[in-house]
């Protein structure tokens, strides 16, 4: 008999409420799941150093490994990925639907958006930085092309030199 997995998010809402982190209120989909007497279950996304007396909830983790789990950005942002327990944390970190704060050091910038929107944000709000990055990327690309041309030329030169050495040794014999 083959094993089947079910989608955790298909559970009734009253069941899902019991399967949420008491700190961030996301589904308990990232290990380690720690249980605290005063707090309940805390997921692996949340910092747990401040809490004492936690016990790893290995029973819940074992059951969660049998489930197909949605990305946490499914309902709000639209990610359709269905993941295995081991994939969730890495996927959520790299998910295209995840929002990011502006990565510049401009403290006044309150932008928050997806990776795909970052370039447009730079064009609109950080023109000097965008121009610098565009020029820097262009320079790196042309430098890389020059390095590649140089490597090809060196290989061709070395090959021609070896051929001449081989011809010279054949003719001297």
Least confident of 58-62, 105-109, 146-150, 159-163: 159-163
The residue ranking higher by pLDDT, 62 or 133, is 62
According to the model, what pLDDT value does residue 1 have? 40
What pLDDT sits at residue 148?
A: 58
SS3 84: coil
Confidence of residue 42 (pLDDT cuts 50, 70, 90): very high
∠29-34-36 over CA atoms, to 5°?
135
- Is residue 91 over pLDDT 90? yes
Give the length of the chain: 173
Confidence of residue 140 (pLDDT cuts 50, 70, 90): low
Q: Is the pLDDT of residue 23 over 70?
A: yes
Cα–Cα distance list, 125 to 71, 98, 106, 117, 135 (Å): 30, 21, 10, 12, 17
What long-range pairs does 124-128 form, CB within 8 A, spacing at least 24?
Answer: 126/102
pTM score: 0.57
- Check if the beta carbon of residue 30 is closer than 8 Å to that of residue 84: no
**pLDDT at position 38 over 50:** yes
Dmax over CA atoms of the chain, in Å, equals 91
- Burial call 68-103: b when 16+ CB within 10 Å, e when fewer: ebbbbbbeeeebebbbebeebeebbeebebbeeebe
- How would residue 163 be classed by pLDDT, with cut points 50, 70 and 90? low
User: Is 165's pLDDT higher than 70?
Assistant: no
Residue 126 has pLDDT above 60, yes or no: yes
Q: Which of 133, 97, 131, 91 is nearest to 114 (CA)?
A: 97
pLDDT greater at residue 77 or residue 54:
54
Intra-chain end-to-end CA distance of the chain, in Å? 76
Element (H, E) at 165: helix 127-172
110 is written with which tokens?
A: 């309150």
């Amino acid at each position: 008999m083959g094993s089947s997995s079910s989608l955790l998010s298909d559970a009734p809402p009253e069941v899902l409420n019991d399967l949420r982190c008491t700190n961030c209120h996301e589904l308990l989909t990232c290990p380690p799941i720690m249980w605290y007497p005063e707090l309940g279950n805390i997921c692996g996304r949340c910092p747990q150093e401040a809490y004492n007396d936690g016990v790893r909830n290995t029973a819940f983790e074992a059951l969660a490994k049998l489930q197909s789990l949605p990305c946490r950005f499914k309902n709000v942002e639209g990610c359709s990925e269905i993941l295995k327990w081991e994939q969730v944390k890495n996927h959520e970190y790299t998910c295209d639907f995840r929002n990011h704060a502006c990565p510049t050091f401009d403290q006044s910038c309150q932008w928050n958006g997806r990776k795909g929107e970052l370039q447009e944000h730079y064009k609109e709000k950080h023109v000097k930085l965008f121009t610098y990055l565009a020029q820097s990327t262009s320079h790196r690309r042309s430098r890389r092309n020059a390095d590649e041309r140089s490597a090809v030329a060196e290989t061709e030169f070395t090959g021609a030199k070896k051929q001449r050495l081989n011809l010279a040794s054949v003719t001297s014999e």
